[in-house]
Structure 1
Amino acid sequence: MLPLALALHVLAASPPATAGAVQDPEIEVQRPSPALWRLDWRAPLGCPTREQIIAEIRSYLPTLDGPTTSARPVELQLDATLGRDAEGGGYRARVELRDSRGRSARVIRSESCRELADAVALIGAVTLDPLLAARTIHTELPAPPPTQAEDGPQPPPPPQPPTDEVLDTPAAATDARSDVNARSDVDARSDVDARSDVNARSDVDARTSQPGSLGIHLAPSDDDEGPARRPRVGLGIHGLGGFGPVLAGFGGVGGSFAVFASRWRAQLEGGWWAPRTLRLDDGAAGEIQAWRLGARACFVPTPGAVELPLCAGAEGGQVLARGLAPTTEIESATQPWAALSLGPGLRWPILSRLALSADLSLVLPVVRGAFVIGERELTSLTPVGVNVGLGVELRI
C-alpha cells in the first residue's frame, strides 16, 4: 500500500541508533512537546474529510492533541489540496509542510483519493513525531519468519578434505591463471560497488540529518508548484446580467484579469452591456448601451475545494443613448458612469488550471443623470443596481 511504503521510505532515510552510542546532535530527530500544529485540507466531495484525516493522524500518534484553530504561531503547518489530475486521470495531492525552518512541498498522484488521503495522514504523523509513528507502524507489521539461528543451534558443516591439485599441463595452468584473474576482477568490482553504496548512504544521511525544529522534510518534486501562497494569474470570461446602469435590465459579456493566492485576490475587470431599446407611451424610442472598467480587492475563504471571495471595488465607464425612429430629432448622448461595488463570488477549480466562476455584486452609483426625448424623460441612471456574472477562469 502507498502509505506503508511511504512510511518505510521516510523512516529508512535516517540510520538507526545503536545501544550505548553517542548521537550526533545534528542528526538527532527532535519534536515539539507538546506539538502545536494546524491542518488545512481541501478535497472534492466523496473524498475523505478533514476530520477523517485528523483521526487517521491520531491513529498513528495516540497521545497527539488535535490541531489548533487559533491564529497563534504553530510548530507545523500542514496544507494539502487534493483534486482531479488533469494530466493522467485519477487524483493529485499537493502537500506542503511549513515550520520554523522554512517550507517544503511536493505533488503525489494516485488513482484513489482514499489512498492519497492515507499518504497525507502518514506524512503528517511522521513529521510530527517520527519515533512514535515508527513504533506504531512497527507493531502493525507482520513478524518476520524465524531464521535458522532462532530455531536452535545448527551443527557446523563438515570440513572439506584438502585437495592437492597438480597443474601438470600448460592448458591447466592457463585456466588457473584466468580463474584467479576473473576472481580478482569480481573482487575489485565488489569493492567499487561497496564504496559507491557507502557514499550513496552518506549522501542520504547528509540530506536527512540537517538540523530543524521537526527534523523531517519533504524533498521538492519536479512538478512542485512553489509555495502555496505564491501568487497565480487568472484570465476570466463571463456572461453578465443584472439591473442597471439605467432603470432597466441588461445583459452583456465581460472579462477579467486577476492575481490571487490562497487567501486574497486582486482583480481588474471590464464589461459591455448590449444595446437595449426603451420606448415612451407615444412610440418615441431610444437605444441604451454601456461599458465599464473596474477593480476589486477580495478576501478569499476556502472551505473545502471551493473559493468564496468577498470583494469590494469601484468601477467607471460610460452610458450611451441614441434616439430611434419614429423620434423626429434623432440625436446621441452620453453619460459618465461611476459606482462602488460590494459582493461575494465563487471559484470552483475543476482542473488544476481551470475554474468555474460566479459573482454577485451590489452596485451603488455615485453619479446621477437622465436621458430625455424632447421634454420627456426616457430613463435615468439607477440609484442602486445588481450585477450577476457566470463564466470560467483560466489559471496560470
Structure 2
Amino acid sequence: MPIITVLAGLLAVQVPEPPAAGLVWEAPRGCPGREELLAAVERRLGRAFAGEVEVEARVSLYPEAPRYRLTLRIATRGRGATRTLTSQRCAALVDATALLVATAARREAGVAAAAGVESPPPRPPADAAGEVEIGEAAELSPETEPGPEPTPAPQGPGAPEAAMEIEMAGPLSGEPVSSETPLQAPGRPRRRLGGALRVQGGPEYGALPGVSGAVMLAGGLLWRRARLELRGTFLSPRTKALQPEGELRAFAGMGAALGCGRLGPRRVEIPLCGGLEVGGVRGIAQGVVGARSTTGLWLAVVASAGVAVAVHPRVRVGAALEGVAGILVPGFELRDPGPPVPLFASSRISGRLLFAVELRFRDPR
C-alpha cells in the first residue's frame, strides 16, 4: 500500500516547463541554432530570457536572392503579430529576431510591473543539470548594450494592449498582422544606386535604304523606379541601285541619351524610355562619274517600350519596340551640270525591333 501511494504521488508531480520552451526556432543547415538565438536575446535583455513572450521563428532557404526568408510570430496572452524578414545572411535574421524578441519581452515585463502582476521568475544560470551553456563562440555579432527600461504604461482598460507594441513589428492585436521587409546584413547601408550594361540589336527600317540591322551597346545608372543611360548605335550598310548605272551605299552611327521609367514587378520589368539621338549617315556613290562620299547630320527623338525578364539575379533578357522621329535627316543627291538628281533621303519616321541581354550591378529593386 505505501508503494502504491508513493507511485501515485510521483505521477501527480508536474515538471515545470522551462521558460525558454516557448521559443521555437527552425532553420536550415548552415544557420545558427536555437541556442545561438537564445544567447543573442539574453545579451540584449541583459538577463536570462524568462519566457515573457511566445516566439515561433522558421527560416526557409531559397535559390535566388534574398536566399533566407524568416516567418516570425511573437505572441502573449493569445495575441500576436506575424512578420516576414528576408536577407542574404541567416545570421542577420538571427540578429533581427533577437532584437524583436528582447524588445517585446522588455515591454511585457513593464506591463506586468505596471499592472501589479509578478513577472515570471528568471531562468537560473546554465549548469550541469540539463541546461545548455552558451559559450562565447556562439556569438554572431558584437554585443549590443541593452536599451533603457520602458516607461510603465498607465493602468486601466486597454493599457496592456497599448504597451504591447513591438518595435519594428507593429502592434500586437487580436488579428494576426503580416508584412514583408527586406533585411540587409548588419552594418551595410541599403543600396540606392546600381548600374547596367546592355547589348541589343535587331531590324531597323527607315534610316537607310530598305531594312538594315541595328547593333547597340548601352550603359547606365539604375534607381529603384528610374534609369538613365547612354547608348551607341551602328546601322549596318545598305545598298540602293541607281539608274542608269551605279549604286549608293549607306551606313550610320549614332549616340543617344535616354531616360526610362521602370514599371512592373521586380522579375518582369516594363521599361518606358525617351531621349535624344544624334549622329550621322554616311553615303558612298559607286559607279557614278564625279560622285564623292559625304556624311549627313542625323538628329532625332527616340521613344521605346519593352519588357525585361530576370533569368538570374544579375542577368535579364528582353525585347523593345522603338520609334524614331527625325528632326534633321540627311538626303543624298547627285549634282552635275544641270539640275540635282535625288539619290536617297532618310525617312523622318523610322522604327526598330530590338532584342537585348543586360547585365546589372547592385540593382536597388
| TM-score range normalised by the length of the shorter chain | 0.5 to 0.7
Offset at residue 249 of structure 1 (A): 2.0
Match for 2:296: what amino acid?
Answer: Q
SS in 2 for 1:256: strand
Give the total of aligned pairs. Answer: 255
Residue 336 (structure 1) aligned with residue 297 (structure 2):
yes
> Take 2:248 and 2:63, find their aligned partners in 1: how far apart are those partners?
51
Classify 1:338/1:197 alpha carbon distance in 2 versus 1 (closer, same or farther; 3 Å): closer
Residue 2 (structure 1) aligned with residue 27 (structure 2):
yes
> Take 1:315 and 1:338, find their aligned partners in 2: how far apart are those partners?
6
Match for 2:88: what amino acid?
Answer: V
Partner of 2:224: 262
- Contact 1:13-1:208 within 8 A present in 2 as well: no
Match for 1:252: what amino acid?
Answer: A
Residue 227 (structure 1) aligned with residue 190 (structure 2):
yes
- Contact 1:309-1:344 within 8 A present in 2 as well: yes
Structure 1 residues 205-257: Cα deviation after superposition (integer angstroms, max 9, x where no partner): 637999994179957169x6x524x2122222222421132453211322111
> Take 1:333 and 1:203, find their aligned partners in 2: how far apart are those partners?
69
> Take 2:244 and 2:136, find their aligned partners in 1: how far apart are those partners?
95
Structure 1 residues 133-166: Cα deviation after superposition (integer angstroms, max 9, x where no partner): xxxxxxxxxxxxxxxxxxxxxxxxxxxxxxxxxx
Partner of 2:40: 13
TM, length-normalised to structure 2? 0.54
Alignment of 1:149-160 (within 5 A): none
Of 345, 348, 352, which aligns to 1:383? Answer: 348
- Contact 1:339-1:363 within 8 A present in 2 as well: yes
- Contact 2:41-2:49 within 8 A present in 1 as well: no
> Take 1:201 and 1:252, find their aligned partners in 2: how far apart are those partners?
53
Structure 1 residues 309-361: Cα deviation after superposition (integer angstroms, max 9, x where no partner): 11111110001101012x22331122100011111133333233333243321
Partner of 2:308: 347
Partner of 2:317: 356
Partner of 2:272: 310
- Contact 1:128-1:214 within 8 A present in 2 as well: no
Partner of 1:214: 168
SS in 2 for 1:300: strand
> Take 1:2 and 1:199, find their aligned partners in 2: how far apart are those partners?
16
> Take 1:367 and 1:130, find their aligned partners in 2: how far apart are those partners?
66
SS in 2 for 1:13: helix
Partner of 2:260: 298
- Contact 1:359-1:388 within 8 A present in 2 as well: yes
Structure 1: state its 5+ residue gaps: 22-27, 29-41, 45-52, 67-75, 81-94, 96-105, 110-118, 133-193
Classify 1:319/1:207 alpha carbon distance in 2 versus 1 (closer, same or farther; 3 Å): farther
Of 245, 249, 252, which aligns to 2:214? Answer: 252
> Take 1:349 and 1:293, find their aligned partners in 2: how far apart are those partners?
27
Identity %: 20
SS in 2 for 1:329: coil
- Contact 1:58-1:64 within 8 A present in 2 as well: no
SS in 2 for 1:366: strand
Structure 1 residues 246-304: Cα deviation after superposition (integer angstroms, max 9, x where no partner): 45321132211111122111100001111110123534310011100001011102414
Alignment of 1:1-396 (within 5 A): 2=27, 13-15=40-42, 18=50, 95=86, 106-108=87-89, 204=143, 206=145, 213-214=167-168, 220=185, 227-228=190-191, 230-246=192-208, 248-325=210-287, 327-374=288-335, 375-396=340-361
Structure whose residues are more often strand by fraction: 2
> Take 2:28 and 2:138, find their aligned partners in 1: how far apart are those partners?
28
* C-alpha RMSD of the superposition: 5.0
Classify 1:2/1:57 alpha carbon distance in 2 versus 1 (closer, same or farther; 3 Å): closer
SS in 1 for 2:145: helix
Classify 1:317/1:286 alpha carbon distance in 2 versus 1 (closer, same or farther; 3 Å): same
> Take 1:241 and 1:356, find their aligned partners in 2: how far apart are those partners?
17
> Take 1:202 and 1:284, find their aligned partners in 2: how far apart are those partners?
77
TM, length-normalised to structure 1? 0.50
SS in 1 for 2:263: coil
Structure 2: state its 5+ residue gaps: 1-25, 43-47, 54-61, 106-132, 151-165, 171-180
